Amino acid sequence: MVNKYRDITFIKIDNNNYISVACDSAGGIGNKENDIIKVDPFVTGYYTAFVALAETIAVGAMPITLINTLSVEMNDTGNKIIRGIHKALDQIGLSEEALITGSTEENIPVTVTGLGITVLGRVNTNIWNLPKAKERDILVAVGIPKVGDEVVNDNGEILTLSQLLRIKQCKYVNDVLPVGSKGIRYEALEMARTGELSFNEFDNIDLDMKKSGGPATCAVVAIDERYIDELKSVLSIPITVIGKIMK
């Protein structure tokens, strides 16, 4: 049995266990001749892995392996990308042995950086349920949406994997959804929709609700209103109240 939930695919392997599948890709971001965003390939590898890992963690699955498919040569662009992937894996305690190198392009000279990442996770339904926002939950944006050069030049305002793990460990957090290219408002509406509820957006929000979150630089979090100050106390990045979940 195969089910889709948001950006995650779940594959049932027995009565109690599912495999989750999350993926992300990047193109034109690196140090090659025709790349649009010029960064070290290490950064490209890290953030592409970050997105797929963040989506897996946010839904409550345990990452078990990561597969990379690189559209570049191994030496030296591929090696730099893989080192970035290792950094992301290290941040969640996943050993390098879990990294499965897919393939590289060794036949054709490549002038644009490209790669794909797939993360497989595991969930046990005896101790896991799909995360869903509850009626009257407050929605907050954790982190600031950034994209392109803004990510490279960040001053500690974007979400990290360690912070995401910390959020997931908070019992008063009911749902977490990393923000992608469609922005905070889209993800808030998606969170409400999958809970068969509605999103009541507050006025005068000091964030661009439509701006791309790039490589999951922020997330929408559904939380019991009583615990907002507690959440702020365990995180070092900006937290902005954006609305409320209603019937």
Domain ranges of the chain: 2-124, 138-246
Res 177: pLDDT: 96
Residue type, 36: I
Asked if domains 2-124 and 138-246 share a fold, the reply is no
Note whether 120 and 19 are within 8 A (CB): yes
> What is the CB-side half-sphere exposure of residue 13 using CA atoms within 13 A?
12
Question: Which stretches of the chain are DSSP H helices?
Answer: 41-58, 79-91, 149-152, 161-168, 183-194, 228-234
**Average pLDDT by consecutive 10-residue portion of the chain (247 residues)?**
86 93 96 95 96 95 93 96 93 75 89 97 87 94 93 91 92 94 96 94 94 95 94 94 95
> Cα–Cα distance between 40 and 143 in angstroms, integer?
23
Res 102: pLDDT: 77
Taken as a whole, the chain contains a residue count of: 247
Architecture of the domain spanning 138-246? Alpha-Beta Complex (3.90)
What CA dihedral angle connects 212, 226, 233 and 220, to 10 degrees?
A: -10
DSSP state of 206: S
Res 97: pLDDT: 67
Give CA separation, 104 vs 78, 80, 219, 233, in Å.
7, 13, 32, 44
Nearest to 215 by CA among 66, 77, 37: 37
Angle at 112 between CA 26 and CA 180, to 5 degrees: 15
Instruction: Count CB neighbours of 217 within 10 A.
Output: 28
Note whether 172 and 234 are within 8 A (CB): no
Residue type, 197: L
Beta bridge partners of 29: 37
Res 7: pLDDT: 84
Instruction: For domain 2-124, give the CATH number.
Output: 3.30.1330.10
